[in-house]
Amino acid sequence: MSNQRQTSGFPAAWGYDKSRENHSMSQSGRRLFRIFGINIEFDYSWFIILFLFSLWLGDYFRAQPGWTPAQVWTAAVVTTLLFFASVVVHELSHSLMARARGISVHSIRLFVFGGVSQIESEPRQAWEEFAISIVGPLTSLILGALLVLAARTQTPHSLPWAVTYWLGWINIVLGLFNLIPGFPLDGGRVLRAALWSLSHNFDKATRWAANVGKGIAILFILYGIAQVLRGGDLGGIWMVLIGWFLLSAADQSLRQVKIQNALADYTVRDIASPFYNRLAAGENLEDYFNQISGQHEYRPSLVMDDDQLLGVIAPSDLRRTPREQWNSTPVRQAMTPRDQLTTAGPRESLHEVLKKIVAANLSQIPILQDGKVQGVIRRDRILQLLHDHLTPQP
């Protein structure tokens, strides 16, 4: 039985991802279930691979002697679901190891290319990176070996045997595939951990690992194109897509390093704005609407009681109250209260603040010192600073 041929271009378990910074993974997914306190989510693109995988497995199981169409498609659907369950197990191993090292885990996301654990920050040390990265492939290899052994207890060519045997070998292939040193595959992160340990420089290690990842991604793309030109099946196209994804992810990692370096020497106070819209707590939504429409300034406004910040109201908050009630609704009923606000301190690094702003999808956040408002930090000013630093000068 040639499992590799039948599944060329299978979805990968992509290790882990800094979900708060990676643009391709930052959108909120739909929750499937929750396990060990971690949300298992899916992107709608996941349904594409569920459908394609079921078709591929349907073709694969047709080769089993004496099987009826009902057995073929039952095996295809069940195996598809169990395979993605094994992808979740792979990702859970990353997530639980990260959490054991004190790193928060946002969720596990299933999408068209497989699965990814979304963690809140990078590991603090090279050995943590290594431990979090290597545990995924090891989990898949051990699971695969156990399933292959379990298949030997089944009657050959029976439905349980075929499903268990295929799942065993595909998990072994999945574990080996993820050890390829192409960022953001687990092997690419293991490589970064080794380079980080040798150089004692995380940024340099990331650049080296990402460049190796880009080279491997290009090889994937070239191999996929060659497969397509030789008249191969969808596996060639899938390899091109995986290569493109790897290339994009490696580029994103390099951009993150550039962003971090560009903002490394700046704090909030360097580009803080002392000017901001403010409203008294007793004003109503009609007053707020008149203020922003008269000034043509559609930024959030700080709701204040003398010098005390009570909350923030944004133009989008108006939509939650019927228009005819604006004149009788105080802004404090529609605002986001202070205890739910994302805020910054004047000495906080711009890189950390940018991550906060991006994670919450905000245009600006208030700056607080000793409980007092010192101004606001605006997303567009941070991005302008980045543009000035990263744009080559003529």
248/122: higher pLDDT: 248
Model pLDDT, residue 392: 66
Write the pLDDT tens digit of every residue in 147-185. 999 999 988 888 999 899 999 999 999 999 899 888 878
Q: Is the pLDDT of residue 233 over 80?
A: no
Model pLDDT, residue 198: 93
Listed in order, strand segments (DSSP E) in the chain are: 12-18, 30-35, 38-42, 105-111, 114-119, 278-280, 301-305, 308-313, 336-337, 364-369, 372-378
Model pLDDT, residue 199: 92
**Section 9-35 average pLDDT:** 55
Q: Is the pLDDT of residue 384 over 80?
A: yes
Question: Burial letters for 203-237: b for 16+ Cβ neighbours within 10 Å, e otherwise?
Answer: eebbbbbbebbbebbbebbeebeebbeeeeeebbe
C-alpha distances in Å from residue 40, one per residue of 13, 21, 28, 33, 108: 14, 19, 11, 5, 5
CATH number of 268-390: 3.10.580.10
Model pLDDT, residue 116: 82
Q: Is the pLDDT of residue 5 over 50?
A: no
14/351: higher pLDDT: 351
Q: Where are the alpha helices (DSSP H) in 283-330?
A: 285-295
Any idea where the domains of the chain sit in the sequence?
3-179, 268-390
Model pLDDT, residue 16: 54
**Section 226-232 average pLDDT:** 81
Beta bridge partners of 280: 304
**Section 185-196 average pLDDT:** 92
Q: 382: which residues sit within 8 A by CB, 6+ positions away?
A: 263, 271, 350, 353, 354, 357
**Section 252-277 average pLDDT:** 83
C-alpha distances in Å from residue 289, one per residue of 294, 301, 390: 8, 11, 38
Q: Is the pLDDT of residue 195 over 50?
A: yes
**Residue 32: strand, helix, or coil:** strand
Residue type at 163 in one-letter notation: V
Given a contact cutoff of 8 angstroms between Cβ atoms, the answer to whether 100 and 135 are in contact is: no
Give the catalytic positions in this structure: 91
Q: Is the pLDDT of residue 14 over 60?
A: no
pTM above 0.75, yes or no: no
At 24, is the pLDDT very low, low, confident or very high (cuts 50, 70, 90)? very low
Model pLDDT, residue 297: 67
pLDDT > 90 in the chain, percent:
20
Residue type at 145 in one-letter notation: A
Distance (Å, whole) CA 197 – CA 192: 8
Write the pLDDT tens digit of every residue in 95-150. 999 888 888 888 888 887 778 887 877 788 899 999 999 999 999 999 999 999 99
**Section 252-264 average pLDDT:** 81
Model pLDDT, residue 25: 40
Write the pLDDT tens digit of every residue in 59-89. 888 888 888 899 889 989 999 999 989 999 9
**Section 253-268 average pLDDT:** 82
Model pLDDT, residue 26: 41
**Section 384-394 average pLDDT:** 76
Write the pLDDT tens digit of every residue in 336-376. 888 888 888 888 888 888 888 887 888 888 888 888 888 88
Q: Is the pLDDT of residue 246 over 80?
A: yes
Q: Is the pLDDT of residue 13 over 70?
A: no
Given a contact cutoff of 8 angstroms between Cβ atoms, the answer to whether 20 and 359 are in contact is: yes
